[in-house]
Every structure is written in structure tokens, then in C-alpha cells.
């Protein structure tokens, strides 16, 4: 899951980014609403964690602007205010959820995953394709109920393909799932991860097909062309 954290408290940004990274998330962080607005015009995120009290453009202004433009990226508001009126105002402006500071990190993670599932049209947290299964809550893959242990970057690639099974996923999207804006993943590295994954899932009844010019497609092996 790729996240945009919009928060001007540098200490909170450092701790949240580190903790979310340990939970398998890719986090880009900015400290003001204007920078976030510019970033959201050119980058795609699975969710936004948005503070309301921001310099240059408030979180509420940014949220209204996003929704006016038709950008429906899931937004979870973080704020020091626990007032019901503030919560209602944020939700009415288009926020998907709301969490008052201080908050529990596990609850934040659970809420992020829940709003991402809701926006994807899936209330259920498990993806299945033939014998391959992915639980988005535990973030565990399995083949016929046997755990499939993967290194972090291979896990991120397979997660991106599994949650978009049946649809082509280009290399940029896969790269975005692996690294923040400050990092870089080469196309050759993506090819290497896909090559390794093909071997790991060869007995799952699924396969990863290369679509020239489009990227990669995770599909049932039964549906694959001869």
C-alpha cells in the first residue's frame, strides 16, 4: 500500500513513517497542504493520512479541493481536535475516516486498510485466485492453506498483482508500491522480482503473464493462452 502522509509535525512524521514502513507500507511525506495538492495531481496513492492544521493550505481546504476535482483517493483525517463538530465537518467534506490524536498505531493501520478496501469495493479482506490466497488484514499469502513466505519487495509486487488480478499492472505502478519518491527501483529490478515470483507460485494454479507495453497480469493458469 502506498500512502501520502500530510503532516507538519516533523517528529510525528519520522515516527509514523518508520512504523508504517515496518508494517509494509510505502510512505511519501510532505509538511504543507500546497505541496500535497501538487503531489496528488501527478502521483497515485492508495490512501492519504491528512492533518487538518497545515501551513499554506489547510487540510480541510485540500480535502475539498480534491473532491471537487473528482479525486476519490481514500482520506483519513488526523487532528488534535476530538470535537464531534470537527469530525462531522471533515466527513461531510469527503473524508473516509477520522482519528483524533493521540491515537493507537494498530488502530490507524486497521482503519487505513479498511478504507482502502471500501474504496476498492471489497468489504471482504481476502483475495483468492485458484489456490493462491491473500489476506489483506494479516498481509499473508498462502497456497492451499500453506503460508507463502516472501521477501518484502517480492511481497509488495505480488500484493499489487493479486489485488488487481485480471488487470494489467505496469512497471511504474509496481515501482510505486516498492519505494517512496526519494528512492528508485529500476525496470530490471522489477523484472527480477517477477521472475522469482513466477517460480514461487508455479504450483498455485496462477501465473504472471508479461503483456508487452502494458506490464504484467496475474491470472489463473487455466485461463492462460496456449
Say yes or no: 25 and 100 in one domain: yes
DSSP at 52: S
Which one of 84, 119, 154 terminates a domain? Answer: 119
pLDDT at position 205, please?
94
pLDDT at position 181, please?
64
Mean of pLDDT values over 92-104:
88
pLDDT at position 224, please?
54
pLDDT at position 121, please?
63
Report the predicted TM-score, pTM, of the whole model to 2 decimal places: 0.69
Residue 61 neighbours by CB under 8 Å, 6+ apart: 33
pLDDT per position as a tens digit, 99-155: 888 888 889 988 998 888 777 665 557 889 999 999 887 789 999 989 999 998 899
Core vs surface per residue 46-58: b (16+ CB within 10 A) or e: bbbbbbbebeebb
Quote the number of domains for the chain: 2
Which one of 119, 148, 173 terminates a domain? Answer: 119
C-alpha cell at 226: 496456449
Which one of 84, 104, 119 terminates a domain? Answer: 119
pLDDT per position as a tens digit, 189-224: 999 999 999 999 999 999 999 999 899 999 998 865
Say yes or no: 115 and 191 in one domain: no
Say yes or no: 83 and 130 in one domain: no
Amino acid at each position: 500500500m502506498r500512502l501520502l502522509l500530510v503532516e507538519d509535525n516533523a517528529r510525528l512524521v519520522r515516527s509514523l513513517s518508520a512504523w508504517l514502513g515496518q508494517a509494509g507500507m510505502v510512505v511519501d511525506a510532505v509538511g504543507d497542504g500546497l505541496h500535497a495538492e501538487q503531489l496528488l495531481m501527478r502521483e497515485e496513492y492508495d490512501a492519504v493520512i491528512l492533518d487538518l492544521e497545515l501551513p499554506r493550505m489547510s487540510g480541510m481546504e485540500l480535502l475539498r479541493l480534491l473532491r471537487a476535482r473528482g479525486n476519490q483517493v481514500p482520506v483519513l483525517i488526523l487532528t488534535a481536535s476530538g470535537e464531534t463538530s470537527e469530525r462531522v465537518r471533515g466527513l461531510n467534506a469527503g473524508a473516509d475516516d477520522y482519528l483524533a490524536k493521540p491515537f493507537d498505531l494498530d488502530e490507524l493501520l486497521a482503519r487505513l486498510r479498511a478504507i482502502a478496501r471500501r474504496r476498492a469495493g471489497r468489504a471482504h479482506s481476502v483475495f483468492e485466485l485458484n489456490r493462491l490466497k491473500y489476506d489483506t488484514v494479516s498481509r499473508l499469502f498462502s497456497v492451499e492453506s500453506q503460508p507463502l513466505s516472501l521477501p518484502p519487495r517480492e511481497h509488495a509486487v505480488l500484493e499489487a498483482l493479486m489485488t488487481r488480478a485480471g488487470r494489467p499492472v505496469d512497471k511504474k505502478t509496481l515501482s510505486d508500491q516498492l519505494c517512496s519518491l526519494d528512492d528508485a527501483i529500476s525496470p530490471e529490478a522489477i523484472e527480477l522480482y517477477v521472475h522469482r515470483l513466477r517460480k514461487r507460485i508455479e504450483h498455485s494454479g496462477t501465473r504472471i503473464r508479461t503483456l508487452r507495453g502494458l506490464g504484467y497480469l496475474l491470472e489463473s493458469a487455466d485461463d492462460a493462452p496456449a
